[in-house]
Structure 1
């Protein structure tokens, strides 16, 4: 019988069509093609992280050969809590050692390994870039998912960055679509000058909604994935999402071939990208400094 991969994710399938294609590409690089010599069982929590433990248990009952949780930290934690024997390949924006997923980067130890992007520690970097882009902004607000394990390190890094730059950064919390809408109402009431959207599977899958709301309320905003800028957000800075999913696919394939997660070091992405949406900048009446344009990997016109 063909080996089965359990694909567990906190988001929804529709916004993740391209990332899943990149995951399949990684699998193919490792010699596995869906329908030919491997099957994939998808389980999506659609923004309801509380459903992840049951979805993980379901995959374990299906006797999957490996569980992949690309770019879904909560899914990785749910899978780890559910099995100590089935190999797990994660993609996380957090520190996998601090999250308790692995014992170390070089020697993960148990049944878990994967890719770490460290986007949780990018609060200060995003704030700095947004400050350069909107120098007159005084009140910065961060949108954070309270259920996310990345929330605390992101806020800590953001506050340290704010202190260094002498800026004010407030935190608003949202864990559902309705709360995202409500947060924007609060944002307007607080007269926020700029918005940082924290790394989170929910926000990534709701990037179009977030970009639209930012434009509607004329708030310059940034997020960690380029797809946010492509959807109309002002700017994004972070690891290449497709590349991350592809790497997760390669690792999943290597484990299917018989390599042990304990011996596969946690990989870290090489490529970070800065994308600026000039069209959005014009709508917001912003002049993008030449220095930033020169740094940008892509400028959307």
Structure 2
């Protein structure tokens, strides 16, 4: 009889242990599920976009979302390939990411058109024209983000300060890039209002840049060239400069990374700060804030960046007041 009771006791102990073991595993699995997944889709590799990504991850860590510990970040880079954008966006949707972030407008558009969950753009110059939102203050329940509209009035004033004899402004951009198109059209408007002539050149893809840039460089009437926020040209600045530098045609882009690559100067939106602002927005949404209550945020003020070496190469004197102003900004002077 004692053996019978002992056997029953052992069986009960095993069953109880199995029950609590299963409960522990279930609780552990549930705990793991509580760690949010954020998918980050970057359009291509470029210092400006890389800086946005870094700012985003750094700010998330400050907010308590550390990759691999309190959050899972699935980072994908499409390397400028449209089919990659689609397949990577589908991956985020299949894994039910709590939030998906598109670095640059093409990545954000791919996510918005594919992912059923929440989407942020970081950044998009004109999110309404890009079809990402219909209302900047009340985006809806699916998409919001950060806009990087360049301070174009300040940029034009900067170009005129460097080139006092400016009469004709060349403008080159990628026609399929909504952000670039928006800024290019706005610059044409501002230049016309300032009594300047403009000559516009467009490319469809990076392979077009060499030929179009050569055509632009042969136009002796052009005194300076403006390049808007354009991912395609940003990643191919050496190609553009191979045409413009021999023609002594100064290039004024909108991004500091494009100035570092050989542009003359820019009133540049800080790309890292775009990432920081996006990181703060991600944290708010993960904590329960709805996208409809998360208006599009704007990076309004630029930072002066001057490439002194590039200016000297073209025989351009840097105005003393601008040089002083740029020296007061970390990274404002590129030698």
How many residues align? The count is 297
Corresponding residue of 2:175: 146
Structure 2, unpaired ranges of 5+: 1-31
Q: Is the 8 A contact 1:214 1:233 kept in 2?
A: no
Q: TM-score, normalised by structure 2?
A: 0.79
- Tell me which of 18, 35, 38 is aligned to 2:51: 18
Do the aligned partners of residues 11 and 53 (structure 1) sit closer, same or farther apart at CA in structure 2, a change above 3 Å counting?
same
For residue 161 of structure 1, report the CA deviation from its aligned partner. Answer: 1.5
* Residue 284 (1) aligns with residue 317 (2): no
Distance 2:126 2:149 in 1: 6
Structure 1 stretches of at least 4 aligned residues deviating more than 6 Å after TM superposition: none
Q: Is the 8 A contact 1:142 1:169 kept in 2?
A: yes
Structure 1, unpaired ranges of 5+: none
Which has the higher mean CA deviation after the structures are superposed, 41-50 or 17-26?
A: 41-50
Distance 2:121 2:48 in 1: 19
Q: TM-score, normalised by structure 1?
A: 0.87
Distance 1:166 1:52 in 2: 42
Corresponding residue of 1:80: 112
Which has the higher mean CA deviation after the structures are superposed, 25-34 or 154-163?
A: 154-163
Distance 1:32 1:211 in 2: 41
Cα-Cα RMSD: 2.5
Q: Is the 8 A contact 2:39 2:73 kept in 1?
A: yes
Structure 2 counterparts to residues 1-301 of structure 1, below 5 A: 1=32, 2-12=35-45, 16-49=49-82, 51-70=84-103, 72-83=104-115, 85-119=116-150, 122-191=151-220, 192-207=222-237, 210=240, 214-215=244-245, 217-296=247-326, 297=329, 298-301=332-335
Larger of the two Rg values belongs to structure:
2
Do the aligned partners of residues 208 and 254 (structure 1) sit closer, same or farther apart at CA in structure 2, a change above 3 Å counting?
farther
The answer to which structure, 1 or 2, has the higher relative contact order (CA under 8 A, 6+ apart) is 1
Distance 1:14 1:124 in 2: 25
Deviation string, structure 1 residues 173-231 (Cα, Å, up to 9, x no partner): 12433212222211222233311111122233344554565445532111111122223
